[in-house]
A and B are shown apart, each in its own frame.
Chain A
Amino acid sequence: MSEFDAAGAAVQAALDAGARYADARVMQRRYESMSARNGEVEALTQDESVGLGVRALVGSSWGFHAVPELSDRAARDAGHRAARIATASGLVPGPPVDLVPSPPVTASWSSPCELDPLGVSLASKGDLLVAATRTMADHGADLAEGLYQVWDTTKWFVSSEGHRIDQHIRECGGGISATSIGDGETQRRSWPSYRGQYGTTGWELVDSLDLTAHAARIAEESRALLTAPLCPAGETDLILGGEQLALQIHESVGHAIELDRILGWEAAFAGTSWLDLAQLGSLRYGSELMNITIDPTIPGALGSFGYDDEGSPAVKRDAVRAGRWVGVLAGRDSAAVAGLDYGGSVRADGWARLPMVRMTNVGLEPGPHTLEEIVAATDEGVLMDVNRSWSIDDKRLNFQFGCEIGWEIRNGRRRRMLRNPTYTGIGPLFWRSMDMLSSEIISWGTPNCGKGQPGQVGHTGHPAAPARFRNVRVGVRA
């Protein structure tokens, strides 16, 4: 039977067992990763997984069951069990569940891909990582690491409302890191970020990163950082590189605007949000320069798709406009609870996992400046780039980030390299202090966003550019 047939059988079985709504996803995913260390390939893995997950709504209670088989019997059994689980959920019932409308469509969608990542020979991919890591080792790195990852996912979605959608999404990316080990501490430099840059695109992305061209520089910088002065402690102006600002957006905006968190559905694990729906449309989130969009339509960005895993089409929306909070990441049921009229941001990380509210591409629109203009306009401050550590509270307010490298800025010029740069703050206060933003936008990909129980790993994109923030506390240390 076809994948659509299997999904359809699961949905029908759930309806037959008493569900008033059901949907099913068949997913086939091929995953490949290779890592190298100090000029040698360390690990090569190629996985292939296929299965079916079905979701059933009985009364106002959900159930989900997943199986690694696509036979008619297995699909029907999964649908039946999903309905049975939903019935059990009714033992501890919640308020009535509605779904905002999502017009049923029959559609196909494929992500753009010039060079199939799985079609590139393993030999050439291995040669790339071996050469880059060997160069880093030759230029002083004690530990020279390289990595690429590829996901090739095909999914077939069927709902009891008539959706019938197939999508083929190819994602890949990679990067290199050099670590120098000193007396009691380590220093790391990465290109273009730790564990790499990723997109919903072909191998042309990895080619564009030109890993070997940056290998010597980052190795030398990691060695130099061991003897660089510590980042000073205190309040100062902070300039963030685009890669770090992407993670700042991810943690302090992207997660905060997830509607399931706002509604308390993640209270025990991922946490809630400081945002109150009563203030949607009026709350001052940041400065006038802060324009954040939710945009799964960006070609090549890691959070892009044609339809989310509830069958809602990819649509660009505002999350923050001129500093004012105006939008959320939502699903069909959470939107109904909140009285909103849109979902569109629900995804599952595989056939065995329940679809849930996830970031798509959440990022900044360009500002009017360049990084060089921002540096030139700064009398005293610190420039930090490339994330090394990240931590934020369960309401997405109090954060502390560490970066791989810092630079002292004085009188409009970049001066000494600084080691162990960190900064800390409170989300809305921080965003309100942003007074300069570059136009040099890159859609950074984050392939390791953890959420949910059982755990799911999401792939998200974050358009970001360098920006300046005023009077930020830096140099926090043990």
Chain B
Amino acid sequence: MTAEVARADRPELDIAAQVVELVARLAGASAQAEVVVTRAELALTRFANSAIHQNVAESAVDVRLRVHADGRTAAGGGSTVTADGLRALVERVLAATRFTPPDLAWPGLTPPMPAPTSAEWDAATAYAGPDERAALVRAFVDAAGGLETAGYCRTAFGAAAFANSAGQVAQGRTAEAAMDGIARAGGADGTARLSVDRLADLDGAGLGRRAAAKARAAADPVELAPGRYPVVLEPAAVADLLQNLSWFGFNGKRYAERQSFAEPGVAQLDPAVTLVDDPLGAAGLPFDLEGTPTRMLTLVDAGTTTAVAHDRRSAAEVGAESTGHAWAGSPTFGPIPRNLRLVPSGTAGTASTGAVGSTGAAGGTGTAGAGLPGGGGPAAPLAGAVADPDTAALVSRVQRGLLVSDLWYTRVLDPKSLVITGLTRNGLWLIEDGRVTRAVRDLRFTESYPRALGPGAVLEVGRRAVRQPDREDGVWWEAPSLRLASWNFTGGASG
């Protein structure tokens, strides 16, 4: 661990400043340069068939440079931080600026401004070893009670610094851990996942128990005819909504191009919906790739769209200011909120550790059971499908609908209306008279996300948000369960 700590303590800011100085020396003081230096330690222990089959760790360094000289802009990156390597990077980017067409929309550099300090980061997480991750996997596997399991345990550490030739500097560190797994029972899967700041806050056994209970409850599914159904979406499924709303709706580039549904000032979503991007809500970096300080940004306030995310270029295009959302992909894909939270109802606030381990069934406070299929009375509740009391409360108020654990392979049919198709995964259940009564085979849906969340469409927002890890470390989606009036299922698993 000592060697790892020593490597992480190298001064990224010194390297960034060195590159800025090199640009000035080679291209003159008028050249505008911005540099981000990132060191990362990423480790991921992956298991399948209840055994660790892939186990990786990576030490990486990345220097990203953008230069605007003589009215032209180019960018480049490299993994070599020797003097020769840095000089080669600078020369390469400067050479590129000479051959590119003029950049008439250059938004200028971020001026000097104070950046907040990093949130507290956990060194034990940053430098966790493979034995610690394997122990969590062991606990998940053992807690599944003999069911086949698969998933991963991940730890990540990043140290980054920014400098530009306008004098802006910033630096920060971040650490996080995540676990995401499934248990499998008779062809049915149950899932449990969580993103945390501290590895010590991951409960492998609790997650394993939850996944196993849901897998058992998902066994022997029945076919259900496609159509519109009221739904309760669990946090993993809601995370998909947040991700797609971020990429295609609250994306400043798409907004500037008129490809987004977002219209600031307009009540576009249900009053129950408040969406906040909160990069500092977990151990995130306090600045973006352009050196703009990151901060909490309310995108939707009680149903009314209030903002979209901007980097400096998209902001300049619409006469706004950067919201600190520049990232490596923003020149192409646009600035995107990547730490989005659906604010829970009530005063419970967020619960980043969720209700791990709770496997209680839906409560019995449902409304009358009229309209049940087959004309029978209320069916017996199915234990294990509902993983926490918060979701159980939402389920209890559904007369007939579906409980959705997770969404999969969602893709956009049209970005402006944000019509998306995808499938349910890792558990789908029929709710009758406020109780989960039977497992259902996965369904395909085709739905406009803004419409599904539109005024009058959100019947209830849960009280406990759970932070869901993204495929990329540093990105997360935090949400409680959600009860919606209608979801458009357009096909069954068999066609």
Query: Chain A interface: which of B21-29, B360-368, B384-392, B486-494?
Result: B486-494
Residue numbers in B under 8 Å from A477 (CB-CB): 413, 419, 446
A45:B76 contact, CB within 8 angstroms? yes
Given A44-B73, A267-B182: A424 and B444 interface contact (C-beta under 8 Å): yes
| Interface check A68, CB cutoff 8 A | yes
For chain A residues 123-151, which have a beta carbon within 8 Å of chain B? 123, 126-127, 130, 142-143, 147
B9 to chain A, nearest CB (A): 17
For chain A residues 421-474, which have a beta carbon within 8 Å of chain B? 422, 424-426, 429, 453-455, 473
CB < 8 Å A-B pair total: 272
For chain A residues 42-97, which have a beta carbon within 8 Å of chain B? 42-51, 61-68, 81, 84-95
Residue from B51, B58, B258, B491 in contact with A92 in the complex, judged by beta carbons closer than 8 Å? B51
A455:B53 contact, CB within 8 angstroms? no
Given A62-B55, A94-B52, A186-B415: A391 and B130 interface contact (C-beta under 8 Å): no
B61 to chain A, nearest CB (A): 5
Given A43-B75, A44-B100, A268-B181: A393 and B493 interface contact (C-beta under 8 Å): yes
Q: Is the interface of B mostly helix, strand, loop or mixed?
A: strand
B54:A62 contact, CB within 8 angstroms? yes
Given A268-B151, A392-B409, A453-B152: A473 and B495 interface contact (C-beta under 8 Å): yes
What separation, in Å, do the CA atoms of A143 and B257 have in the docked complex? 7
For chain B residues 460-495, which have a beta carbon within 8 Å of chain A? 471-472, 488, 490-495
B158 to chain A, nearest CB (A): 14
Residue numbers in A under 8 Å from B448 (CB-CB): 478
For chain B residues 71-126, which have a beta carbon within 8 Å of chain A? 73-80, 88-89, 92-93, 96, 99-101, 103-105
Residue of B with least CB distance to A35: B332
B444:A400 contact, CB within 8 angstroms? yes
| Interface check A185, CB cutoff 8 A | yes
B413:A126 contact, CB within 8 angstroms? no
Residue numbers in A under 8 Å from B492 (CB-CB): 398
| Interface check B435, CB cutoff 8 A | no
Given A64-B55, A89-B45, A429-B495: A45 and B50 interface contact (C-beta under 8 Å): no
A85 to chain B, nearest CB (A): 5
B289 to chain A, nearest CB (A): 12
Residue numbers in A under 8 Å from B133 (CB-CB): 88
For chain A residues 2-47, which have a beta carbon within 8 Å of chain B? 33-35, 40-47
A91:B409 contact, CB within 8 angstroms? no
B301 to chain A, nearest CB (A): 24
Residue of A with least CB distance to B446: A478
A335 to chain B, nearest CB (A): 15
Interface size class of A (residues with CB under 8 A): 35 or more
1/0 per residue, CB under 8 A from B, across A229-267: the answer is 000000000000000000000000000000000011111
What separation, in Å, do the CA atoms of A40 and B77 have in the docked complex? 22
What separation, in Å, do the CA atoms of A62 and B44 have in the docked complex? 13
What separation, in Å, do the CA atoms of A86 and B134 have in the docked complex? 11
A469 to chain B, nearest CB (A): 14
| Interface check A179, CB cutoff 8 A | yes
Residue from A64, A264, A392 in contact with B150 in the complex, judged by beta carbons closer than 8 Å? A264
| Interface check A121, CB cutoff 8 A | yes
Residue from B55, B59, B331, B416 in contact with A181 in the complex, judged by beta carbons closer than 8 Å? B416
B261 to chain A, nearest CB (A): 9
Given A47-B77, A48-B77, A352-B58: A94 and B99 interface contact (C-beta under 8 Å): no
For chain B residues 302-321, which have a beta carbon within 8 Å of chain A? none
A320 to chain B, nearest CB (A): 21
B442:A393 contact, CB within 8 angstroms? yes
| Interface check A476, CB cutoff 8 A | yes
Given A81-B57, A92-B138, A429-B495: A267 and B416 interface contact (C-beta under 8 Å): no
Instruction: Please report B residues at the A interface, Cβ cutoff 8 Å.
Output: 42, 44-61, 73-80, 88-89, 92-93, 96, 99-101, 103-105, 129-131, 133-135, 137-138, 141, 148, 150-152, 154, 180-182, 184, 189, 191, 257-259, 331-332, 408-417, 419, 421-423, 425, 442, 444, 446-448, 451, 471-472, 488, 490-495
> Could you list some 25 contacts between A and B, CB below 8 A?
A46-B74, A47-B76, A61-B55, A65-B57, A66-B57, A88-B45, A88-B131, A88-B134, A89-B45, A93-B52, A94-B50, A122-B100, A143-B259, A264-B148, A268-B182, A271-B408, A352-B60, A390-B411, A391-B411, A393-B444, A420-B413, A454-B58, A473-B495, A476-B421, A477-B413
